[in-house]
Amino acid sequence: MNIIQCEELSKSFGRRHALQRITCALDAEKIIGIIGRNGAGKSTLLNIFAGYLKPTNGSCRVFNENPFNNIHTASNMIFIDDQLSFSHYLSLEDILKLGADFYPNWQNDLAYRMLDYAGIDLTLKHQQLSKGQSATFNLVYGLVSRCALTILDEPMNGMDEVIRTDFYRAILKEYLAFPRTFLISSHHLQEMETILEEILLIDEGTVIAHAPLDEFKEQLVLLNGPSEALAELLSEMEVYTQKTVTGTTSAIVNARKLFVSEEILRTKGITVSSLTASEVCKYLTSKKGRDIDAIFD
């Protein structure tokens, strides 16, 4: 069942087009990574899902309703990012009480245990937390509220390595304990790969890939072989990047357009190897012919 459905969704801020004609459908009860580079439009899309922003064009439906300013969506959704703020008067303990009062599926004990694990003093105010601590607290807040749609916008920003790995596990465990839809946006795909089921890749305001993780990874392949053998092959297809060192060329190409079987390739001395998801993302979103080295030359 689709939890979110977007059709021809566009959003512009003045002249800037943040999102352009996005059409996608997200399944319920999955951990979905919203991946994209800085300024790709991830946060804008998530804000529209959360009902904070109104699409300029097109439609967006969450739980089969228009999410904008919708109390039904709001009561089944939580949006966690580093801007989450609470009144100056509330200590963390009070904030947990606040959450418990509002969210019907709130897990207070779990919150206490997780915060204790993270070593966060509950008598502090939210404003007194360090960047990493507040990110941890926000994530805990998002997890224990157990909303059917949990949106985590860059949840791990500022956390240290140890806590990050711990909390990726925590997300997974919580997901298993109470299956729900997680939308996690991040630009560190590498460390999230283990928990993601699906990836929605956004670049320059458009969806350029939306697939289960495995399928996503198989989109691109790395070809390695003698330059002469590859040259012919590469001339017929889209090449994402290509490097030639002493007669050996390595190139990344779109796997779906590689109509030659692996057997034949092997006979030509070409090896095919797969890429990691984050590498795929990198190549899919990198602009052609752009090279940081060029700036310094």
Residue identified by tokens 């109390």 is: 71
Rule CB under 8 A: say whether 148 interacts with another protein: yes
| Residue 81 in the binding site for another protein (CB under 8 A) | yes
Cα–Cα distance for residue pair 219/153, rounded to 1 Å: 26
Phi, psi of 186 (to 5 degrees): -165, 160
Contact segment (CB under 8 A) with another protein among 96-104, 157-165, 212-220, 270-278 equals 96-104
With contacts defined by CB under 8 A, name the span among 74-82, 182-190, 194-202, 271-279 that binds another protein. 74-82
Rounded distance, CA 35 to CA 202, Å?
6
Q: What are phi and psi of 284, to 5 degrees?
A: -70, -30
Task: Output 87 or 130, the one with its CB closest to another protein.
Answer: 87
What is the nearest approach in angstroms of another protein to the Cβ of residue 95?
A: 8
Q: Should residue 57 be labelled a site residue for another protein when binding is judged by CB under 8 A?
A: no
Alpha-carbon distance values, 115 to 90, 91, 215, 261, 278 (Å): 16, 13, 36, 53, 30
Told to check if 29 binds another protein by CB under 8 A, we report: yes
- Nearest Cα neighbor of 250 from 221, 224, 230 is 224
| Shortest Å distance, C-beta 111 to another protein | 14
Element (H, E) at 49: helix 42-49
For residue 67, the number of C-alpha atoms closer than 13 Å in the C-beta half-sphere is 28
Residue selected from 17, 21, 37, 72 as contacting another protein according to rule CB under 8 A:
72
- Work out how close the CB of 151 gets to another protein at its nearest, in angstroms, rounded to a whole number: 12
Question: What would you measure as the largest C-alpha separation in the chain, in angstroms?
Answer: 71
- Rounded Cα distance between 129 and 136, Å, is 10
Q: Is 290 in the site for another protein (CB under 8 A)?
A: no
CB of 12 to another protein, least distance (A): 13
What's the 3-state SS for 71-83?
HHHHHCEEEECCC
Query: Judging by DSSP bridges, how do beta strands 2-13 and 149-153 pair with one another?
Result: unpaired
- Give the residue with the Cβ less far from another protein, 33 or 51: 51
Q: Which of 8, 54, 121, 173 touches another protein by CB under 8 A?
A: 54
Q: Does 205 bind another protein (CB under 8 A)?
A: no
- Stretch of 48-56, 107-115, 218-226, 256-264 lying at the interface with another protein (CB under 8 A): 48-56
Residues near another protein (CB under 8 A) are: 1, 3, 28-29, 43, 47, 51-54, 63, 69-72, 74-76, 79, 81, 83-90, 98-99, 101-105, 141, 148, 178-180
